[in-house]
Chains A and B, each alone.
Chain A
């Protein structure tokens, strides 16, 4: 019972795991860099890696060599904003997924499955279709933030509704959670469909990508507003890692450990909804990123949020960029909607998870 128990293997193993977690974070940073370079280099026009590095050096204000002007133009006006957009969207969705799974104490809580993305999309579509009419004054005043803020509000409302429906007495029912998700997805889908029916031709073109998800709307202003909205959740959620760890024990148990549960839960909900809303506003509904990424990391390194949240941001960004790379190169010169790609990959993954989860009956 003495506290001087240093030579016990459990202790050494946990320290080793922490070192491994830190190493894998470095590895993930490297992965993000590699994938980002690939994403900038590969496309209808393939750009030599040297030109990519020179252009990036020039952007960073470093002395850069000569670059073919059309290569530079492609990088600066198309590939670079798209890459940054992909990184931010992937990071935001994965971190929001990990945070929601912690909040709901359930590894199956993905923002797209439980209807948060759909709620955000419905709100954003409302802005697009009704924005020219009664809401004109509001949307004009908010400018490029109107869409992301609306999506944030939509995501927030649906998260709250799902949370209230699925939780009672500090326990969350998986069945209720997923069923509530189905109902909310259906409702929001119907609302979006109705608005689509009302939309004119030009609006219809804008709307198409909501239903399928795409990064093709990548412009510098979009990157700017996304970065502004994504910064709070990406910075703050990893700082709440210990709170999320404690919440996994149960709401009452977290309270007994000194966590101000009543105050922290709404903050986590709001941050996660902000990340999902901002992502949905620029790229539509891209499913399963928030499910697959944290799950892979948990399999590799355990569920500790102090590693899981930063790891999710990095792996989420890298995976979404890879998916986008596939989406725009598989059928060139056309482009697959990335949401279809992630659903094709994520759907079977989710089913496998569900089967395993039922077998182990956790």
Chain B
């Protein structure tokens, strides 16, 4: 059943007004490819210190939205704002010191060591000095990839590669900015090639960096996920996209209900209270 979804969820209070100084936001953006709107009138804002999980079926526009925030795509309509200023007004270097992007996969096919890959995260800060090397190692440690430091990237498994790149983006955002300006981490399906334990440890890491973080205000983290239960457990807020429009956004308890999930994914589910944690547990229902 298809319902005409409201473009924004009225039930949810925004933690911050979109476009405020301490936020990373898209304002009413539209992206069109070959006459089809991949994103249509989406407004969404990540706040400093929060983990926002982006959900949606395949082709709903999650990756496109992430590309807009990463600066890979400039939307035809609307604006992307980083710390209160239009993203395209920041130079590539200025933007790189404020936000890092973990890609789904990298085409890297040269035999760098994992440590050298993590060191590339220090390029925006002026390049590999001895201090950068220590930061890169510590960042690999934070991503649970320290033992891989000396291994050739090309010999690593998909999940190991993903953790090395996580180390790279953590190294990129390692130190607080002057004036405690917020920093942003965009994670595009970071759990896709990870085993169950590492899926949880990556999201717990995102959680830690966001809430306490390495500065008082912490990082704002936007994560694209497919697993609703991971989203329920780790997100401060979730946003659900459907066919290029924002279907719902709000706290996991508010959004992750059977009806919105059915609307977005076409999957009938039951939502139970999690037996141990203070979050919903989503269970698919038996097919009739």
Rounded to whole Å, the gap between the CB of B205 and the closest CB of chain A is: 10
A290 CB → nearest B CB, Å: 16
CB within 8 Å of A: which of B100-159?
A: 100-101, 103, 106-113, 115-117, 119-121, 123-124, 127, 130-131, 133-135, 137-138, 140-142, 146, 149-150, 154
B17 sits at the interface (CB 8 A)? no
Interface centre among A4, A14, A246, A360 (most CB of B within 10 A): A14
12 residue pairs of the A-B complex, CB under 8 angstroms, read A5-B134, A5-B138, A14-B116, A105-B107, A107-B109, A249-B106, A250-B107, A255-B71, A256-B70, A256-B100, A258-B92, A362-B154
State whether A248 and B121 are in contact (beta carbons under 8 Å apart), knowing that A10-B115, A260-B92 are contacts in the complex.
no
Are B103 and A253 touching (Cβ within 8 A)?
Answer: yes
Seed contacts A6-B134, A10-B113, A105-B109; 9 additional CB < 8 Å A-B pairs: A8-B149, A9-B149, A11-B134, A14-B113, A105-B108, A105-B110, A256-B101, A257-B123, A302-B112
Is A13 an interface residue, CB under 8 A from the partner? yes
| 6 closest A-B pairs by CB | A258-B96, A10-B149, A258-B93, A303-B110, A258-B124, A362-B109
Q: How far is the CB of B237 from chain A (nearest CB, A)?
A: 24
Confirm or deny: A73 has a beta carbon within 8 angstroms of a beta carbon on chain B.
Answer: no
Residues A303 and B137 in contact in the complex (CB < 8 Å), given A253-B101, A256-B100: no
B95 interface hit (Cβ, 8 Å)? yes
Q: Does A205 contact B (CB under 8 A)?
A: no
The reply to whether A5 and B123 contact each other, CB–CB distance below 8 Å, is: no
B127 near A106 with CB under 8 A, answer no
A residues near B242, Cβ cutoff 8 Å = none
A355 proximity list for chain B (CB < 8 A) = none
**Residue from the list B94, B110, B150 in contact with A13, Cβ < 8 A:** B150
Residues of A near any B CB (own CB < 8 A): 1-6, 8-11, 13-15, 105-107, 170-172, 242, 245-246, 248-250, 252-253, 255-261, 298, 302-304, 360, 362
A258 touches B150 (CB 8 A): no
Asked if B92 and A10 sit within 8 Å, CB to CB, the answer is: no
Known A13-B150, A258-B123; judge A3-B70 contact (CB<8 A): no
Closest to A262 in B: B92
Chain B residues, Cβ within 8 Å of A257: 96, 120-121, 123-124, 172
User: Which of A3, A6, A298 counts the most B-chain CB atoms under 10 A from its CB?
Assistant: A3
A248 touches which of B71, B110, B130, B135 (Cβ 8 Å): B110
Whether B183 sits at the interface, judged by CB under 8 Å, is: no
Across the interface, which residues of A come within 8 angstroms of B112, CB to CB? 248, 302-304
How many B residues face the partner with a CB closer than 8 A? Answer: 48
Identity of the chain A residue whose Cβ is nearest the Cβ of B142 in the assembled complex: A1
Q: How far is the CA of A132 from the CA of B70 in the complex (A)?
A: 54
Picked from B108, B134, B138, B141, the residue with its CB within 8 Å of the CB of A250 is B108
Q: What's the Cα separation between A251 and B112 when bound, in Å?
A: 17
**Cβ of B70 and Cβ of A252 under 8 Å apart?**
yes
- A1 to chain B: closest residue by CB: B142
Of chain A, the residue at the smallest CB distance from B103 is A253
Residues in chain A near residue B106, CB distance under 8 A: 249-250, 253
**Are the C-beta atoms of A245 and B120 separated by less than 8 Å?**
yes
B117 to chain A, nearest CB (A): 8
B96 touches A256 (CB 8 A): yes
User: Contacts of A242 on B, CB cut-off 8 Å?
Assistant: 123, 127
Does B72 sit within 8 A of A, measured CB to CB? yes
Instruction: From A4, A8, A250, give the contact of B103 (CB < 8 A).
Output: A250
Q: Indicate if the CB atoms of B146 and A2 lie closer than 8 Å.
A: no
Cross-chain contact B149 with A249 (CB below 8 angstroms): no
Interchain CA distance A256-B93 in the complex, whole Å: 8
CB of A10 within 8 A of CB of B137, answer yes
Instruction: Give Cα distance in the complex from A182 to B286, angstroms.
Output: 56
- Find chain A residues with CB under 8 A from B107 CB: 105, 170-172, 249-250
Closest residue of A by beta carbon distance from B125: A258
Given A257-B96, A259-B92, A362-B154, are A5 and B111 also a contact pair (CB < 8 Å)?
Answer: no
B97 at the interface (CB under 8 A from A): yes
Which B residues are in CB contact (< 8 Å) with A9? Answer: 149-150
- For B110, the chain A residues whose CB sits under 8 A away are 105, 107, 248, 298, 303
For the complex formed, measure the closest distance between the CB of A75 and the CB atoms of chain B, giving whole angstroms.
42
Q: For B141, list chain A residues within 8 Å (CB).
A: 1, 5
Q: Mark B191-233, 1 if CB is under 8 A from A, else 0.
A: 0000000000000000000000000000000000000000000
B115: chain A residues at CB < 8 Å are: 10-11, 14
A258 to B101, CA, bound (A): 11
* Minimum Cβ distance to chain B for residue A289 (Å): 20
Shortest B154–chain A CB gap in Å is 6
For B113, list chain A residues within 8 Å (CB): 10, 14, 302
